[in-house]
Amino acid sequence: MGRLVMKFGGTSVANIDRIRNVARHVKREVDAGHDVAVVVSAMAGKTNELVDWCRDASPMHDAREYDAVVASGEQVTSGLLAIVLQGMGIQARSWQGWQIPIKTSDAHASARILEIDGSEIVHRFKDRKEVAVIAGFQGINPQTNRITTLGRGGSDTSAVAIAAALRADRCDIYTDVDGVYTTDPRVVPKARRLDKIAFEDMLELASLGAKVLQVRSVELGMVHNMPVFVRSSFDKPEDIDPHGTPPGTLICSEEEIMESHVVTGIAFTKDEAQISLRQIEDKPGVAAAIFGPLADANINVDMIVQNVSEDGKTTDLTFTVPAADYNRARETITAAKGKIGYIRLDSATDVSKVSVIGSGMRSHAGVAAKAFKALSERNINIRAITTSEIKFSVLIDAAYTELAVRTLHTLYGLDQT
């Protein structure tokens, strides 16, 4: 007998039939003798609708009220799943973040989990064999007593944090694909499912665009050394042996991975925008004059490239910011134009960042160079590059995203054979 956290994403609870299907997955594990806590997302599309309603109500809405609104999607699915489970004769109770409580920071819309008191849930496991059905994505700030949410995709983080708090043996993330692939299988049909992936590689994949897991859920898994298993909710619940190993991907520590490849996977995102400042006078203090005001405005700068301008005397500086901050970044730079002293500002929002990830890169040289050659052979222009020990990213025209991802996927031998 063990203790399991089972998380189901939006598509897995998209309607009552799917919720019934989820309940059958839960029943299987309960029947196998496990203590079970289930974490649910809102029905597919619901959170988007709630976000749109807030924007419609007022573009400059209060972040605390935004959280009050968007947290409601998970409240509905947790109650519905508890009702269905009870109808199947399984003891079940729904829990909202504040009822547990899941204490978070007060950074509304992107709050961090600080502490979870799992004692009552564990007590009920022991006393009544009761399944806890927990609303994902939400918590409460203990100082203000207000509902908070954890950022889009945050139910993954709820699940891993709850698994750690309950000292679960494993956290299963049920979703609409049967594991983590070498790249998004919806974009590259030749993508290959990984049996295992190291926390570090998964962290990079997630933060560079693979939305299969929220970044913070991977961080928490790593910190608590909690095995996280990504699997499909669409496999027939009754066909699965609760003691066997179903198809899926285990996210675990590097030591547990026997087979190692130089490149693990490829991620991409269209969520960045490029700003280029042309003909800046080449003198000390210019970078501070540009990036200081952006930092003060809380705008994260990602890629930075500096090169000599066409005239050979001045400097051009290109950087990227999150697409959501693009307008603010432009305004911030324009306001600081006098101090920076550039001649022209060019910008582009139709760009995408393609990233190649692999902890094996630490011990291999020339991995990125191969990519630059392959992309140039396809006539894909690289606007900016960043590298780190275990990944590199290129910024390209958005129209070439799929071609670039497919090219690199083949180049590094990731295609399914």
Helices 215-224, 199-207: axis angle to 10 degrees equals 160
Residue partners of 373: CB distance under 8 A and separation at least 6? none
Q: If you write DSSP's letter for every residue of 27-56 in order, what string do you get?
A: HHHHHTT-EEEEEE-PPTTHHHHHHHHHHH
Closer to ligand ADP at the Cβ: 234 or 372? Answer: 234
Closer to ligand ADP at the Cβ: 185 or 227? Answer: 185
Give me the amino acid identity at 301: V
Q: Enter the tokens of residue 274.
A: 């490029």
Classify 290 in phi/psi space as left (phi over 0), alpha (psi -120 to 50) or beta. Answer: alpha
273 neighbors 326 (Cβ within 8 angstroms): yes
Nearest CA to 5 out of 157, 205, 140 is that of 157
Q: What's the closest the beta carbon of residue 403 comes to ligand ADP, in angstroms?
A: 17
Q: Give the SS3 label for residue 203.
A: helix
Binds ligand ADP (CB under 6 A): choice among 20, 61, 64, 211: 211
Binding region for ligand ADP (CB under 6 A) out of 26-34, 67-75, 87-95, 178-186: 178-186
Binds ligand ASP (CB under 6 A): choice among 97, 118, 136, 227: 136
Contact between 42 and ligand ASP per CB under 6 A:
yes
Q: What's the closest the beta carbon of residue 3 comes to Mg ion, in angstroms?
A: 23
Binds ligand ASP (CB under 6 A): choice among 5, 30, 73, 390: 73
Closer to ligand ADP at the Cβ: 125 or 181? Answer: 181
Binding region for ligand ADP (CB under 6 A) out of 82-90, 102-110, 179-187, 373-381: 179-187
| Contact code string over 153-192 relative to Mg ion, x by CB under 5 A | x---------------------------------------
Q: How big is the chain, counted in residues? A: 417
Q: Could you say which of Mg ion, ligand ADP, ligand ASP, none residue 177 binds, taking C-beta under 5 to 8 angstroms by partner kind?
A: ligand ADP
175 neighbors 159 (Cβ within 8 angstroms): no
Binds ligand ADP (CB under 6 A): choice among 125, 181, 319, 392: 181
Q: How far apart are CA 351 and CA 297, in angstroms?
A: 23
Window 144-173: residues binding ligand ASP (CB under 6 A):
152-156
Closer to ligand ASP at the Cβ: 50 or 345? Answer: 50
Contact between 97 and ligand ASP per CB under 6 A:
no
Binds ligand ASP (CB under 6 A): choice among 12, 41, 320, 352: 41
Contact between 328 and ligand ASP per CB under 6 A:
no
Q: What's the closest the beta carbon of residue 152 comes to Mg ion, in angstroms?
A: 8
Contact between 358 and ligand ADP per CB under 6 A:
no
Nearest position to ligand ADP, beta carbon: 9
105 neighbors 141 (Cβ within 8 angstroms): yes
Q: For every residue of 214-272, which 3-state class applies, written as one string?
A: CHHHHHHHHHHCCCEEEEECCCCHHHCCCCCCCCCEEEECHHHCCCCCCCCEEEEECCE
Helices 72-87, 46-57: axis angle to 10 degrees equals 150
Binds ligand ASP (CB under 6 A): choice among 95, 137, 174, 400: 137
Q: Could you say which of Mg ion, ligand ADP, ligand ASP, none residue 181 binds, taking C-beta under 5 to 8 angstroms by partner kind?
A: ligand ADP
Binds ligand ASP (CB under 6 A): choice among 10, 221, 248, 358: 10
Q: Enter the tokens of residue 202.
A: 């998964």
Nearest CA to 251 out of 279, 223, 270 is that of 223
159 neighbors 174 (Cβ within 8 angstroms): no
Binds ligand ADP (CB under 6 A): choice among 78, 104, 157, 175: 175
Binds ligand ADP (CB under 6 A): choice among 6, 198, 210, 384: 210
Q: How far apart are CA 48 and CA 27, in angstroms?
A: 30
Give me the amino acid identity at 42: A
Q: Could you say which of ligand ASP, Mg ion, ligand ADP, none residue 358 binds, taking C-beta under 5 to 8 angstroms by partner kind?
A: none
358 neighbors 260 (Cβ within 8 angstroms): no
Binding interface with ligand ADP (CB under 6 A): 9-12, 41, 153, 175-177, 180-181, 183-186, 205, 210-212, 265
Question: Which residues contact ligand ASP (rule: CB under 6 A)?
Answer: 9-10, 41-42, 47, 73, 136-137, 152-156
Binding site for Mg ion (CB under 5 A): 9, 153
